[in-house]
C-alpha cells in the first residue's frame, strides 16, 4: 500500500448522482414514491431523465424532488428525513456539500387494503342547516 497519496481526478456521471438521490429518498421513512406526470414517466422509461428528480450540477448541488408520501405520517418529518438522507448520501459519496434540497409533496398515498380513516365531525362547527333550523328570518 503506497504511503504517499496520489493526486488525481475522478468523474461521476449525472446518472450516478441521480441514483444516489433516488436510493436515499426511497429509503426514507414515509416516502412511497416519486410524483410525475404520465409523460414524465414515459420519458423516464425511455431513459430521458428521472421522473420526480431535478438536479443542477453547478458550483453547488441543487436537488428538486417531487414526492408522494404515505397517508397518516407527519409530512414535515418525512421532508426533514429526506433532506437529511439526501445531503448525507451526497456528502459521503461525493465529498461535496449540497447547496439546496427542495421537496414538493405532490400527494398522499393510502396503502392498499388499509381501512379508510373516518375523521369525526367538529361538533362546534356551524352546519348548513343550523341557521335555517334556528327559526331566524335571515336568508
pLDDT tens digit sequence for 23-41: 999 999 999 988 877 777 7
Distance CA 122, CA 105 (A): 27
* 89 alpha carbon, distance to own chain's centre: 15
Mean per-residue pLDDT over the chain, rounded: 80
* Cβ–Cβ under 8 Å, residues 78 and 31: yes
What is the assigned CATH class of domain 14-110? alpha beta
Q: How confident is the model at residue 137 (pLDDT cuts 50, 70, 90)?
A: very low
CB 131 within 8 A of CB 138: yes
Rounded to two decimals, what is the model's pTM?
A: 0.69
pLDDT in tens, 42-59: 777 777 767 889 899 888
Which pLDDT does position 112 carry in this prediction? Answer: 65
- Residue 53's Cβ-count burial label (10 Å; 0-12, 13-18, 19+) is buried
Q: With a cut of 70, say whether residue 18 has pLDDT above it.
A: yes
- pLDDT beyond 80 at 113: no
pLDDT band at 139 (very low <50, low <70, confident <90, very high): very low
Is 21:86 a contact under the CB 8 Å cutoff? yes
DSSP state of 48: S
Nearest C-alpha neighbor of 54 from the set 103, 88, 12, 87 = 103
Number of H helices, E strands in the chain: 4, 4
- What pLDDT, on a 0 to 100 scale, did the predictor assign at position 7? 74
Amino acid at each position: 500500500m503506497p504511503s504517499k497519496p496520489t493526486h488525481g481526478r475522478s468523474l461521476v456521471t449525472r446518472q450516478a448522482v441521480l441514483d444516489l438521490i433516488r436510493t436515499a429518498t426511497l429509503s426514507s421513512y414515509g416516502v412511497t414514491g416519486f410524483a410525475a406526470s404520465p409523460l414524465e414517466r414515459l420519458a423516464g422509461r425511455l431513459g430521458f431523465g428521472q421522473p420526480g428528480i431535478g438536479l443542477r450540477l453547478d458550483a453547488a448541488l441543487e436537488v428538486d424532488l417531487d414526492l408522494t408520501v404515505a397517508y397518516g405520517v407527519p409530512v414535515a418529518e418525512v421532508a426533514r428525513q429526506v433532506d437529511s438522507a439526501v445531503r448525507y448520501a451526497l456528502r459521503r459519496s461525493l465529498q461535496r456539500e449540497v447547496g439546496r434540497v427542495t421537496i414538493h409533496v405532490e400527494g398522499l398515498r393510502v396503502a392498499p387494503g388499509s381501512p379508510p380513516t373516518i375523521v369525526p365531525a367538529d361538533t362546534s362547527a356551524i352546519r348548513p342547516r343550523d341557521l335555517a333550523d334556528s327559526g331566524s328570518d335571515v336568508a
